[in-house]
Amino acid sequence: MTDNSLDVRAVQFSGIASRLRRLDASILLWLALIALLAFLVLNPILRLIISSLQETDSGRLTFANYRVAYGNVRHLQALANSLELGIGVALLATCFGVPIAWAISRTDMPGKAFIRLMVFAAFVTPPYLGAIGWILLAGPNSGWLNRVWMALTGAGHGIFNIYSMTGLIVVIAVTSFPYTFVFTSSALDLVSSEMEDAANILGARTLRTTLRITLPLVTPAIIGGIIISFLEAIALFGAPALIALPARFNVVSTQLWQFFEYPVRVEEAAAYAMPLLAITILMFWLQRRILGRRGYTSVTGKGGERRMIALGPWRWVMLGYALLVCALSVFLPMLVLLQAAFAKAWGRGFSIDNLTFHNFYYLLAEQTQAKQTILNTFVYSAVTAFAAISLSLAIAYVVSRKLVPWSNVLAFLCVAPFVVPGIVLAIGFYAAYAPPPLALYGTATILILGFTTRFLPIAYTSSAAGLRSINPEMEEAVRILGGSRLLAIRKVLIPLLKKSLAGAWILVFIPATRELSSAVFLVGPNTRVISVMLFDLSEEGNFEVLSALGVILLIATVAIAGIGSKIIGRDFMLRRS
Amino acid sequence: MSRLKLSGLSKRFGAFLAVDGIDLELQSGEFVSLLGPSGCGKTTTLRMIAGFVDPTLGTIEMDGQVLSSPAGSIPPDRRQMSMIFQSYAIWPNMTVEQNVAFGLELRRIPDAEVKRRVGEMLEVVHMNHLADRYPAELSGGQQQRVALARAIVIRPSVLLLDEPLSNLDATLREEMRFEIRRLHDEFRVTTVYVTHDQAEAMVTSDRIAVMNHGHIEQVDHPRALYNNPKTRFVAGFIGRTNFIEGTSDGSEISFDGFALPRSAFERDVPSQGKAVFSVRPHSMRLSSVPSTARDGCTSIGVIVLERAFLGEHWDYVVKSREGALTLKVTTSPLDDFAVGAAAWLEFEPRHMASIA
């Protein structure tokens, strides 16, 4: 009854040979992928550790680098400063993020959509742009807030000084509170109203219920958010460089940067980077332990019916608080940044005769280096996004279909860079690939490779999630009808994955365009990117051009993020995967 | 020569033996179900036939050719089979027509011929008016029909179905059972059907292989399986039943409170020692007077312990007056006995299946 005569005979080679052939192919595939990952992930980290133990010229084993790195009071002070910074930011970001998350997720506060949008805006704003905004706002005496204060009180001095530890903590907290927000709100979204009803029926009022039931239920998530903002704060380079350096104190990241001033001392930098690496790994492990803990089953389960708590007049108080936080993190810094971008001199204020487009004209037309820089940024980011997604998709596929043995090793290597701060990764890349034989220093290649590794975890998580959403039976249906695996991938898998791949591309592209902490160690004279140029401009004190460049970066980011939310739904970047 | 032959087929996942030495032969055009509870190895068996899973031991042969063996297997795309998946796996990026045409295009059949055969096939499954729709615009039952059309249109050597109806609601499930049997009667494709639903297997199949813990308990025609279950598992899995134990002394089987001559049973009963029988609830009669003894039949006095009226029948639980035998009995809605009432229960040896 089959009209296609069954030609199994044609494919009947000896069973053992076929098994060997398949095993061969999968081993080759595994080797190829593991080699790529070794190059991108393993080698830089190993080189970092090895070079921290090597003598600069001879390469002999030594602990001298550690002695130099930690034998100096200033270096130790920078470590203590980083700790202070991290703890301060984590606490302040929690004060900002948790109440807003609660108000949006559990109450009838008005204007939720707007506040959500603003949190999203805070999330996509690079911290160093926020820092520049805050320099314009709270620079000693000349800053806008100080000038308003002096005008109101007639005082001779302003009261705010951004160039201080407090200033730095505020600046980083207002840009990193979206982390605590996202963690808390996604946990709150899963707490069923019945949990609260059960407390209400026993006689507890709203406040007591919130403090005794709701918040304790999401405590693991809040702690997770605290850990992430702590890690974010200690790994940042841009904001501390803009604020701490003029304030004449160092944190670990700025101290690492100083090891790279001429003469470059990679080995000492590597030794000095170790605590940062160790703390990050430890904290992520801790976070997994806390979030993975059982017992809070109501948070892990499916959310039941949810009703909003009626706050009465207090809902306006909550809205006021949310607006205040948004003002500190978005409205005010962006307002002064825009003003400076379109001003002849930002200090002359908001007037028509101070208005100019020259800053943009200068960047986009007059100054050839700036044009090149902007082009570099978008090209490198685009290539990075393609590379990271192609590699991670291939690996996610191989892992999910169990095509090779020990595929979990591949998955682990893909997400490993997540626990390596960008600045540490960059030093590893420098140690591994800047010197001969590859001598990639100053090339676009080393930047793209570094970015690819840095964002591989993001790319991998979203590719794997995309793949998981597609039933393997979709492919098996192709196979059983006579199509090869490649045909199944081409005709079914890729078309179905298009959307989530576009989303993943954007999720890599956006952070790549603003990446500073790894770029600053890897750029050469001809491969500068916007973030590095912003940093250089700030050293010259040219805030008008700098703001204009920041605005260009923001517009591009917002445009891409806008396209992203069109494709894959609103606030896709705020989802916790 | 049989079309499909599984010999000593086993599959081990780590320490877990999912399939444990299965032997099964299908004739050309035969429809066989693999029926069993979840985790019994039926889906793994099906996936080995398809070529998605390699056996740990044993072989799969088609028309005398080895398809799968522990040494190596022909990949699924070279087996000329087709399969209906639990999720249907209708490709959402292609229209109904493109879905059905896919397998034919792979076989390099001329476009005009593809179009004709797809059209005919869609007509058979009553989907020709929806040929240009995308799967997201179809109901579950319609997607199921597309899956059937896509699988059958290539005229596969073997058709595999993996719990194809488990995602449909009850009414549609009933309708599709008959649809699947109708398509089989029309095309006579050799079919292996995996299900955990006995009614589905009974409606569709020529023969049913009941599986448990990785091995086949019994392969038989649906009626034989029901009337003559060979194992306790099969008797309990297919329909409701009572198990009663007796002791055989060679000429007579003595139960708790009554006895029956060994010669009254149609099937072999152990001549010595313990014998277990499966008795269906509706194969016994409950009456208010002891029945006149016909050959082999016997009545015992019982008391009604519980009862439930289900509209189409009564369900009773009765206990023998002498002895501790408790039995489920199903009677017509007219046989009304109050709880605590005394009644007579009549056994017929030909309705008692001796099981291993």
Whether B262 and B218 map to the same domain: the answer is no
Cα dist from A103 to A54, A111, A112, A212, whole Å: 54, 11, 8, 16
Give pLDDT tens digits for A323-354.
999 999 999 999 999 999 998 888 777 777 88
Structure tokens at B242: 């009572």
The answer on pLDDT for A152 being more than 70 is yes
User: CB distance B189–A1 less than 8 Å?
Assistant: yes
B contacts of A482 (beta carbons < 8 Å): 77-78, 80, 103, 106-107, 154
pLDDT-derived band at A529, boundaries 50, 70, 90:
very high
**Mean per-residue pLDDT over chain B, rounded:** 90
Whether B216 and B244 map to the same domain: the answer is no
The answer on pLDDT for A265 being more than 90 is no
Which residue in the block uniquely carries the two structure tokens 């991938």? A489
Phi/psi at B24 (5° precision): -155, 135
Same fold for the pair A14-52+357-577 and A70-347? yes
The answer on pLDDT for B302 being more than 50 is yes
- Closest residue by Cα to residue B193 from B183, B67, B141: B183
> Parallel, antiparallel, or unpaired: how do β-strands B65-69 and B314-320 relate?
unpaired
Q: How far is A14 from chain B (nearest CA, A)?
A: 8
Among B204, B236, B268, where does a domain finish? B236
CA distance A201 to A327: 39
Most confident of A106-120, A147-161, A552-566: A106-120
Phi/psi at B323 (5° precision): 105, 180
Interface mutation vs chain A, best among B73, B74, B98, most A CBs within 10 Å: B74
The answer on pLDDT for A383 being more than 50 is yes
Cα dist from A575 to A69, A95, B121, whole Å: 39, 21, 45
Residue B219 confidence (pLDDT): 96
pLDDT-derived band at A572, boundaries 50, 70, 90:
low
Q: Which residue has the higher pLDDT, A118 or A570?
A: A118
Interface mutation vs chain A, best among B77, B155, B187, most A CBs within 10 Å: B77
CA distance A562 to A571: 9
Give pLDDT tens digits for B162-208.
999 888 888 888 888 999 999 999 999 999 999 999 999 999 999 99
The answer on pLDDT for B305 being more than 90 is yes
B contacts of A7 (beta carbons < 8 Å): 80
Lowest mean pLDDT among A19-28, B29-38, B249-258: A19-28
Whether B213 and B331 map to the same domain: the answer is no
Q: From chain B, which residues contact A within 8 Å (Cβ)?
A: 28-29, 50-52, 62-63, 65-67, 69, 71-83, 85-87, 89, 91-93, 102-103, 106-107, 150-151, 154-157, 160, 187-189
Give pLDDT tens digits for A308-318.
888 888 999 99
Whether B244 and B218 map to the same domain: the answer is no
Task: For chain A, give every domain's residue range.
Answer: 14-52+357-577, 70-347
Lowest mean pLDDT among A81-95, A528-542, B13-27, B88-102: A528-542
How many alpha carbons lie under 13 Å from residue A352 in its C-beta half-sphere? 0
Structure tokens at B172: 């549609």
Write the DSSP symbol of residue A107.
B
pLDDT-derived band at A18, boundaries 50, 70, 90:
low
Give pLDDT tens digits for B68-110.
998 888 989 889 999 999 988 999 999 999 999 999 999 999 9
Whether B163 and B229 map to the same domain: the answer is yes
Q: How far is B158 from chain A (nearest CA, A)?
A: 9
**Mean per-residue pLDDT over chain A, rounded:** 85
* Region A14-52+357-577: CATH code: 1.10.3720.10
Give pLDDT tens digits for B214-248.
999 999 999 999 988 999 999 999 888 999 988 88
Among B209, B236, B263, where does a domain finish? B236
What CATH number has the domain bearing residue B283? 2.40.50.140
Chain B residue with minimum CA distance to A497: B93
Which residue in the block uniquely carries the two structure tokens 């229960």? B345
CA distance B55 to B47: 10
Which residue in the block uniquely carries the two structure tokens 């795309």? B77
Structure tokens at B321: 């007056």
Lowest mean pLDDT among A44-53, A191-200, A544-553: A191-200
The answer on pLDDT for A17 being more than 70 is no
Class of the domain covering A70-347: mainly alpha
User: CB distance A4–B107 less than 8 Å?
Assistant: yes
Q: Does A490 touch chain B (CB under 8 A)?
A: no
B contacts of A3 (beta carbons < 8 Å): 155
Q: How far is B79 from chain A (nearest CA, A)?
A: 7
Structure tokens at A95: 């004060």
Helices and strands in chain B: count of H runs, count of E runs: 8, 21
Q: How far is B89 from chain A (nearest CA, A)?
A: 5
Evaluate whether ipTM surpasses 0.95: no
Which residues, at least 6 apart from A572, have a Cβ–Cβ distance to it below 8 Å?
A: A503, A507, A564, A565
Residue A560 confidence (pLDDT): 84
Residue B294 confidence (pLDDT): 64
Chain A residue with minimum CA distance to B78: A482
A contacts of B69 (beta carbons < 8 Å): 15
The answer on pLDDT for A571 being more than 70 is no
Chain A residue with minimum CA distance to B50: A480
Residue B199: which domain range? 4-236
Residue in B65, B85, B187 closest to A476 by CB: B85
Give DSSP secondary structure letters for A156-225.
Answer: SS-S--SSSHHHHHHHHHHHHHHHHHHHHHHHHTTS-HHHHHHHHHTT--HHHHIIIIIHHHHHHHHHHH
CA distance A234 to A79: 10
Structure tokens at A342: 């379109």
pLDDT-derived band at A23, boundaries 50, 70, 90:
low
Whether B9 and B54 map to the same domain: the answer is yes
Residue B293 confidence (pLDDT): 63
Among B175, B204, B236, where does a domain finish? B236
User: CB distance B76–A476 less than 8 Å?
Assistant: yes
CA distance A88 to A102: 22
Percent with pLDDT over 70 in chain A:
91
Q: Which residue has the higher pLDDT, B268 or B167?
A: B167
Burial class (CB in 10 A: 0-12, 13-18, 19+), A105: buried
Q: Which residue has the higher pLDDT, A561 or B125?
A: B125
Q: Does A17 touch chain B (CB under 8 A)?
A: yes
Which residue in the block uniquely carries the two structure tokens 């890897």? A522
Percent with pLDDT over 70 in chain B:
98
Q: What's the domain count of chain B?
A: 2
pLDDT-derived band at A5, boundaries 50, 70, 90:
very low
Residues A246, A134 contacting (CB under 8 angstroms): no
Across the strands, what pairs with A343? Answer: A355
User: CB distance B74–A471 less than 8 Å?
Assistant: no
pLDDT-derived band at A576, boundaries 50, 70, 90:
very low
Residue B109 confidence (pLDDT): 92
Q: Does A8 touch chain B (CB under 8 A)?
A: yes
Q: How many residues does chain B have?
A: 356
Whole-prediction pTM value? Answer: 0.80
Give pLDDT tens digits for A477-506.
999 999 888 899 999 999 988 888 888 888
Give pLDDT tens digits for B108-167.
999 999 999 999 999 999 999 999 999 989 998 899 999 999 999 999 999 999 999 888
Strand-by-strand arrangement of the B72-73 sheet? B16-26, B4-13, B57-62, B65-69, B72-73
Whether B200 and B248 map to the same domain: the answer is no
